[in-house]
A and B are shown apart, each in its own frame.
Chain A
Amino acid sequence: AQKVTQAQTEISVVEKEDVTLDCVYETRDTTYYLFWYKQPPSGELVFLIRRNSFDEQNEISGRYSWNFQKSTSSFNFTITASQVVDSAVYFCASARSGAGSYQLTFGKGTKLSVIP
């Protein structure tokens, strides 16, 4: 069974500070995918990134960056120079195989509050 742990329940930062959201995963699959989603107050989950287990390269997209380390089973997410619009709940998820399809296992989320 897969498991995703987001140990940080809530984080508050002042605008323009950098912040890192932690994600630790457990899986027995040799091939798997990891995801980050953002859930703003409106409720809709917004896809941010997908990472294949074979690709450990870090990725940067604007102010967002992701650090994938198989050795520590972690897939951490950093926001640089945070903004108020970054305030949301962020979910890390892994895709597990089952009955011919891939199903997502979500962590419990980290609520980020960016204070102006």
Chain B
Amino acid sequence: DGGITQSPKYLFRKEGQNVTLSCEQNLNHDAMYWYRQDPGQGLRLIYYSQIVNDFQKGDIAEGYSVSREKKESFPLTVTSAQKNPTAFYLCASSPTAARDTQYFGPGTRLTVL
């Protein structure tokens, strides 16, 4: 089945450690996105990528890094510089970056202890 997968569903890390969240899609979409969701809040854009080997910062990129070496993969690294990393992280993709509907993965809930 076509779709977006994120792994793992739940992730626990100690403070000060970097952690990488996986996002894979087999929809042949060009664009991919990472969002952060905090309790009672809407989603905020962290990074997005319009095409392989290209990505741009969103509204809250500080403390995060990404790579886009393959069309189907867009991993997000939460670094130790991110002051409040505990959150729900959602990955999305769209056919192109221009005016297309974004489809979301199941999310990863990160808890930093």
List residues of A whose CB falls within 8 A of some B CB. Answer: 4, 9, 33, 35, 37, 42-47, 50, 91, 93, 95, 99-104, 106-109
Contacts and interface: CB of A to CB of B under 8 A. Distances in A.
Contact of B99 (A9, A33, A46, A106): A33
B90 interface: yes
Contacts of B44: 106
A47 B103 contact: yes
Interface stretch (B66-74, B75-83, B104-112): B104-112
Contacts of B40: 9, 108-109
Contact of B88 (A4, A43, A46): A43
Nearest to B57: A99
Given A44-B107, A45-B104, A101 B42 contact: no
A101 B104 contact: no
Nearest to A6: B42
